[in-house]
Structure 1
């Protein structure tokens, strides 16, 4: 029963996150305005004298004008979005195809689309009801003037739309937007995990009871979960709920995704409530999982380092953004356990540690840019900056990555001029790493 009741809520959440949400609301507002223009019986004698002077003698004869406005609006909308799709497809080839839908579904683009659709709907409604009641010519004339004003407004939006779309595919704008969205997702997670009930555990607690697995009923990306609701369900079952996946993982149907550590096995209704608290979403939602923003920045860097594009400057720009995000991750570690008010652990989940995250982000960039000395030096510079904020355990991880960077630079720098250039920058700047004063001798050469 609860599953049936939660279905409309999930459908509404999916609609609010889709590209059709804002256009639908704006089109509905324009439709209400058109109904008011046609159905409200406002006679000329109720309107101010100044407005009656603006009334047309025969508003029903303006059908050719409205038809021309309608055709122009349809052409404008088709031209706008065909051009934008062409530009965004080119951007997907240069950066990453994951970014294309995000650029299309930006809020400003949805607002413009909604005004376009609403204006077309408003004019279409006026064309469908051409007859004007006697004594209400001024009210219909005002509606026709309003339709003309809407078209002029859409022409202004067209200029804004072209400008905003062209700016959104600039690499600076792409990297800045990914950085800002990822940072906002991290801050949102920090706010949610405030309180003594949210904790970071070195080892998951054990009650000594058997673990009863719960399998997934559907396949998809498990982006998030209602952890307080899961904690309450675990309290009702007098056990500990262990999640066997990381947020953002893809799970298949029938896979044991969690288990209840309790004295008795859970009932089927309880398992359905647990599954209802899990959030499935298609694709990589940065707002739900901030690590996706970091990996997308890394993928943009890899795309820039591909032989077809060969743009190391873009890769270095992404490295700068990743360095800032990793610095903030060093200062804050997400929690992996939720306790109840009595101090009992109720939910545990997996969190990617700093070592795994650093390897996932930096090693692909170093591997793809191993022949580009500026990329190796850029990665080394990022490691130097992070070492200033690292604890001893994380510092050892950074040192291991720095040793690999030095080894890669030594293999790539073959000419004496290159080796002299790189050696002068190895130990340069403030850092806490142990770096050689010059590149070691080349192996095999």
Structure 2
């Protein structure tokens, strides 16, 4: 039972980010509700209401069909418009900011739920309309079901107003940046509080048997509880080799075990590792650094030339770096029977180099952005860190940025500002 639940969670994590996930669930609910209401009508619910509250029941078949047809037509129009707005949002985000933002925007549950409410109500009204017998007796008209269809349509109208509000907010870059930051912050806090970050000992896995990836895809997530159960069952230690978020190619080493295991056990472990063709910040905080960096780089491109957005992005990066300094560069989990699972993570040094390499290339000629980055490094120098070596990484990247900027910026006044930044950071510029 536990293994079945673990497989269900693995499948759920792989499909919940799809734009059709929640609309499909709501559509099924609307379809089933229609048949429940038809069954209730056959049991006489409308006849009972007709006797007690006749003002709430539509007792004319033609009127009921007219109302339901108007509801269906209006809801289809609203749904088409809403889908069009979502496509406009995705297109603008991809063009103006970064294509990497699309998986996060598509997985926005608010938009999915609203579209699902539309779809459920449309299906409900269609099947209720089919059940109407306009030439029959009054009790043969599903008056109560029609009333419910009207109520659901009114709810859809309220959802449409809310949708217009959220879509107008979602398309603003400040809200996009804040959404990325909040998601990454939540993930980082979870990892920082994870006891695995304080457990550093793990056996040397250099000579352990290797197992290879059977298909390509982004390493998005793993079912840790299932892996712990497998390790206890097989009495093994486990080393997951790829860093979460990287694209794993078919045939490269995927994991190592402390002793040889059979093919069935490997498949159990393999089924606990989720691969996908997309990436989500909620499962990989490092993606937030990439997305914000790409937004900054795009903002500094000649075609857009928006240093204000770049500065906002640097502010969010600064906060995320300060949080990342509280996390170890390793993750070792201990099972119930003291077996161990090591998960390789992207190091602080590698992550900062990847971010700053892009920012140096596109921002080194702008003194205002260099000043903002200098302020970021100064702030990070004053923050507590779980590893003293992180400060060396910060100083190294700051000095590299200032050296590149000093070579690119030739104005004497701006060079004086660069020297002031280096002195504040206790660094020496030696072009």
Q: Compute the TM-score of the two structures, normalised by the length of structure 2.
A: 0.88
Give 1:404's aligned residue.
400
For residues 426 and 207 of structure 1, the distance between their equivalents in structure 2, rounded to whole angstroms, comes to 42
Give 1:259's aligned residue.
256
Give 1:376's match in structure 2, choosing from 370, 376, 381.
370
Give 1:356's aligned residue.
350
User: Structure 1 residues 153 and 224 mapped into 2: Cα distance closer, same or farther (>3 Å)?
Assistant: closer
Tell me the secondary structure at the aligned position of residue 349 of structure 1.
Answer: strand
For residues 406 and 286 of structure 2, the distance between their equivalents in structure 1, rounded to whole angstroms, comes to 31
Which is further off, 282-291 or 128-137? 128-137
Give 1:293's aligned residue.
288
Unaligned runs of 5+ in 1: none
Alpha-carbon shift at residue 52 of structure 1 (Å): 1.3
Tell me the secondary structure at the aligned position of residue 371 of structure 1.
Answer: coil
For residues 368 and 264 of structure 2, the distance between their equivalents in structure 1, rounded to whole angstroms, comes to 58
Give 2:317's aligned residue.
322
1:197-241 Cα shifts (integer Å, max 9, x gaps): x6124xx52389x42111122221222333454455445555433
The count of aligned residue pairs is 425
Q: Is the 8 A contact 2:26 2:116 kept in 1?
A: yes
Tell me the secondary structure at the aligned position of residue 325 of structure 2.
Answer: helix
User: Structure 1 residues 224 and 103 mapped into 2: Cα distance closer, same or farther (>3 Å)?
Assistant: closer
User: Structure 1 residues 218 and 268 mapped into 2: Cα distance closer, same or farther (>3 Å)?
Assistant: same
For residues 45 and 195 of structure 2, the distance between their equivalents in structure 1, rounded to whole angstroms, comes to 60
Alpha-carbon shift at residue 117 of structure 1 (Å): 0.6
For residues 339 and 80 of structure 1, the distance between their equivalents in structure 2, rounded to whole angstroms, comes to 47
1:172-206 Cα shifts (integer Å, max 9, x gaps): 10110000000111122334x3269x6124xx523
Matched, 1:97 2:99: yes
Q: Is the 8 A contact 1:373 1:412 kept in 2?
A: no
For residues 184 and 369 of structure 2, the distance between their equivalents in structure 1, rounded to whole angstroms, comes to 23
Tell me the secondary structure at the aligned position of residue 245 of structure 1.
Answer: coil
1:346-376 Cα shifts (integer Å, max 9, x gaps): 3323222211111112231121112111111
Give 2:223's match in structure 1, choosing from 215, 222, 226.
226
Tell me the secondary structure at the aligned position of residue 131 of structure 1.
Answer: coil
Matched, 1:434 2:429: no
For residues 242 and 56 of structure 2, the distance between their equivalents in structure 1, rounded to whole angstroms, comes to 67
1 or 2, which has the higher helix percentage? Answer: 2
User: Structure 1 residues 338 and 308 mapped into 2: Cα distance closer, same or farther (>3 Å)?
Assistant: same
Q: Compute the TM-score of the two structures, normalised by the length of structure 1.
A: 0.85
RMSD: 3.0
Which is further off, 381-390 or 97-106? 97-106
For residues 386 and 145 of structure 1, the distance between their equivalents in structure 2, rounded to whole angstroms, comes to 61
Matched, 1:217 2:214: yes
Give 2:133's aligned residue.
131
Give 2:244's aligned residue.
247
1:261-276 equivalences under 5 Å are 261-262=258-259, 265-276=260-271
Alpha-carbon shift at residue 119 of structure 1 (Å): 1.7
Give 1:388's match in structure 2, choosing from 355, 366, 382.
382
Give 1:23's aligned residue.
23
Unaligned runs of 5+ in 2: none
Give 2:143's aligned residue.
141
Alpha-carbon shift at residue 421 of structure 1 (Å): 4.7
For residues 434 and 371 of structure 1, the distance between their equivalents in structure 2, rounded to whole angstroms, comes to 22
User: Structure 1 residues 274 and 33 mapped into 2: Cα distance closer, same or farther (>3 Å)?
Assistant: closer
For residues 228 and 204 of structure 2, the distance between their equivalents in structure 1, rounded to whole angstroms, comes to 16
Which is further off, 118-127 or 151-160? 151-160
Give 2:184's match in structure 1, choosing from 182, 185, 206.
182
Matched, 1:157 2:159: yes
Q: Is the 8 A contact 1:3 1:273 kept in 2?
A: no
Tell me the secondary structure at the aligned position of residue 209 of structure 2.
Answer: strand
Tell me the secondary structure at the aligned position of residue 331 of structure 1.
Answer: coil
Tell me the secondary structure at the aligned position of residue 279 of structure 1.
Answer: strand
User: Structure 1 residues 421 and 238 mapped into 2: Cα distance closer, same or farther (>3 Å)?
Assistant: closer
For residues 74 and 349 of structure 1, the distance between their equivalents in structure 2, rounded to whole angstroms, comes to 48
Tell me the secondary structure at the aligned position of residue 71 of structure 1.
Answer: helix
Which is further off, 332-341 or 83-92? 332-341
Matched, 1:113 2:115: yes
Give 1:37's aligned residue.
37
